[in-house]
Amino acid sequence: MVQKVREADLFESSVGLVERVLDSSIAEKIKSCIQCGTCSASCPTAYAMDYTPRWIIAALRAGQWERVLRSNTPWLCASCYYCTVRCPSGIEFTDLMYALKRLAIERGIYPKGSPVLYQAFTGTVDRYGRSAEVELMARYYLRTLNPWGLIKMAPMGLRMLLKGRLSLLPHRIEGRRELAKMFDYMRERGEK
Amino acid sequence: MAYTYYPGCSQEVSNRAYDLSTRAVAKALDIELKELKDWNCCGTSPSYSIRELPTFVLGARNLALAEREAGACDLVTICNGCFAMLEKTNLRLKEPDLRRRVGEVLSVAGLEYEGSVRARHFLEVLVNDVGEGLIRERVTMPLGGLKVAPYYGCQFSRPEGRYDDLEFPTALDRLLSWIGAEVVDYPLKAQCCGGLLMTTKEEVALKLVRDLLALAQKRGAHCMATICPLCQLNLEAYQDRVKARFGADFSIPILYFTQLLGLSLGLEGKALGLGRELVSAADILAPYLVVASREV
């Protein structure tokens, strides 16, 4: 979390041009922000964020991208797109949040554990071609070392199972070898 | 009317009833939904969160398969997430650089995509293509007296708004009114259910779900109609947790809009996957069931 980062470290590492880390079209676009705060006011999860959407843009323009990445903000975006459709400057803030999450992965800077579910998700999708819900949840709670989470899920899981709404085995698509070939191809070329 | 159908991963097991009721309703309305053969994950928001190219490759494989099978066709989804991601894939593939990179990867699997497939949501297909006249004509069991809160969630009309209003969609309101249901005024209809945050930031998502359920209750809704499997699950499966956290006791059935439409068309509960609810809808739906209510 943000508070635990030493201010001195923060200053040292976070001053820099945002163009260096973000896609140039995004870096260009955030220059048109008028700091009206419509994004923050429209965001259903802003109240729980370290920095609200408006702050995020201000921080990025001040070059404080590392500070932004250390915050919980990108990981609290539920992707509802209210900010995007309401922004008077046409900034697609939701897509900026996605870009920040990807940047966080690339740089390895994020609040501990934030991307685990996303990684577990892509793990099952890449292997089987489709999402495998039970395996996904098991992997998520194991990797976050949160057996309590799994125990809390158990009653709901059981009810779902009884209603025929859980399958313990994943569905594997026929084209998973072609899929694997495509993923290998991207991996070999370092494509992200 | 013929469409290529993309069920989406959630419909295979946890939201199977959504898939069943969609197919049943389509059949009853003479809409041909031909399932896309060997479809894969749509690309999905959690994937887009951590990587770009593989996400669009996943989406593009589906679009390429659809194009190969049916040419320039409409790919019909019933999940807001799939719909928005396939729409986004199409949109982004207009960028020459990304198009080239995705095309190169697809070619490794012997696929190519010209860009002629359109992503659609079944709700919007029903309202825009099938239309009021035909649907009203086929209703044999109007849902008079059933108060329904129409809930769209986020990614049906946002971010593109191609088929409905960005902030205040009306397609579901209209459809529900055609089948005789009493549509309650529900201003939170396009607000967020928390999506995936229900797993990663539960306390935040629970609050959103609490607000949605509370308004439905306040407006006297007997049930909520959803058009997205994740919304359905968040609203239904977490009512216990909302109660534990906020002390607010809701027992509001959360149904797929296709189940309500199916009932009004005189279809049997079983064919619509009814009975798999975690919050039982047996009581509120009993008057509209063609066969004995014990089936639900």
User: Do residues B205 and B198 make contact, with C-beta atoms less than 8 angstroms apart?
Assistant: yes
Given a cut of 80, whether residue A20 has pLDDT beyond it is: no
Residue B159's domain spans which residues?
A: 139-295
User: Rounded to the nearest 10 degrees, what angle do helices B53-70 and B96-108 cross at?
Assistant: 70
Selection from A81, A37, A49 nearest residue B192 by Cα: A81
Q: Does B12 touch chain A (CB under 8 A)?
A: yes
Torsion angle, CA of B74/B225/B162/B198, rounded to 10 degrees?
-100
B195 phi and psi, to 5 degrees?
50, -130
B16 with A165: Cβ contact below 8 A = yes
Q: Are residues B83 and B35 in the same domain?
A: yes
Is B128 contained in some domain?
Answer: no
Contacts of A115 (CB under 8 A, 6+ apart): A75, A101, A104, A105, B49, B50
Q: Are residues A161 and A73 in the same domain?
A: no
CATH number at residue B18: 1.20.1050.140
B13, B15, B191: residue with CB nearest A44:
B191
Percent of chain A with pLDDT over 70: 92
For residues B102 and B35, give the distance between their C-alpha atoms in angstroms, rounded to a whole number. 24
- Which chain B positions have a beta carbon within 8 Å of A192's beta carbon? 51-54
Structure tokens at B48: 């887009």
Residue A22's domain spans which residues?
A: 2-107
CATH number at residue B182: 3.40.50.11810
Task: Tell me what the mean pLDDT of segment A28-41 comes to.
Answer: 95
Give residues 197 to 216 of B whose Cβ lies within 8 Å of A.
197, 199-201, 203-205, 208
Average pLDDT of chain B is: 96
Number of structural domains found in chain A: 2
B15 with A165: Cβ contact below 8 A = yes
Q: Are residues B144 and B14 in the same domain?
A: no
Task: Tell me what the mean pLDDT of segment B216-232 comes to.
Answer: 97
Per-residue confidence (pLDDT) for residue A103, from 0 to 100: 94
Q: Are residues A154 and A84 in the same domain?
A: no
Percent of chain B with pLDDT over 70: 98
Is B127 contained in some domain?
Answer: no
Among A107, A141, A168, which residue terminates a domain? A107
Q: pLDDT tens-digit profile of B90-114?
A: 999 999 999 999 999 999 999 999 9
Specify the higher pLDDT residue, A168 or B152. B152
Per-residue confidence (pLDDT) for residue A34, from 0 to 100: 97
Q: Among all chains, which residue has been given the structure tokens 């939201």?
A: B15
What's this model's pTM, rounded to 2 decimal places?
Answer: 0.93
Residue type, B257: F
A81, A129, A175: residue with CB nearest B154:
A81
* CA dihedral sign of residues A62, A63, A67, A69: positive
Given a cut of 90, whether residue B177 has pLDDT beyond it is: yes
Q: Are residues A19 and A60 in the same domain?
A: yes
CATH number at residue A68: 1.10.1060.10
Prediction ipTM score:
0.94
Q: Are residues A102 and A121 in the same domain?
A: no
Number of structural domains found in chain B: 2
Q: Are residues B87 and B172 in the same domain?
A: no
Q: How many CB pairs under 8 A join A and B?
A: 169
Q: Are residues A83 and A139 in the same domain?
A: no
A167 with B12: Cβ contact below 8 A = yes
Distance from CA of A9 to the nearest CA of B (A): 26
A44, A79, A178: residue with CB nearest B45:
A79
